[in-house]
Homo-oligomer: A and B are copies of this chain.
Amino acid sequence: MAVPTLGYALLALLAKQPNTAYELSQRVRRPLGYFWTASYGQIHPQLRELTAAGLLSEESVAGPGPHDKRVYTITAAGRDALAAWAVEPPRQEPSRDELLLKTYAIWTAEPEQARALALSQAAIHRQRVAEYTAIRDRLGREAADPAHPDFGSLATVRYGIGYERHRAQWCEWLATQLSHRDSP
């Protein structure tokens, strides 16, 4: 009976507009992919469960392929469940960061190669800052209203900009540290 986090991710997307499973798998890649990912193989059965629980309603339309096209719409119960979940404290922090794990072991590696890694990662994060900034600038003024459907996009992209900027700065600091190994 318990709805997994993925279920709420789908409800959050469907709260903005009705979609098919395929469309959701695209929307989960971007923009949701910046902070939540899921594959079609996971989405498909989850939509069925949410529908069975009465949080979604589905409508079959004659589709292109061998199966009908199913459009999912959030129900009033789904909206209530989403709103209740959204204000509960999150269960756990994101706690899996491969770059930090590599950094933890970086003392065993060659400093020059380590420095190259840090610099390439810094470049990636700098680029993302630009990317996210462009997304933010494309959002309308109404997104600043906490009751507007685009508020979540504004707030999360704002987070992303700061996150990537900090990460880029840290990578640059790391590269600097790795260059003066013998000279203190």
**CB distance A152 to B83 under 8 Å?**
no
**CB distance B170 to A162 under 8 Å?**
yes
Which among A43-51, A85-93, A129-137 touches the partner chain?
Answer: A85-93
A39 contacts the other chain (CB 8 A): no
State how many residues of chain A have any CB contact under 8 Å with chain B: 73
* A134-173 interface with B by 8 A CB criterion: 144-153, 155-156, 158-159, 162-163, 166, 169-170, 173
**CB distance A116 to B87 under 8 Å?**
yes
* Mask of A8-21 contacts with B, CB within 8 angstroms, 1/0: 11011001000000
Give A contacts to B, CB under 8 Å.
5, 8-9, 11-12, 15, 32-37, 79, 82-92, 94-111, 113-114, 116-117, 120-121, 144-153, 155-156, 158-159, 162-163, 166, 169-170, 173-174, 177-178, 181, 184
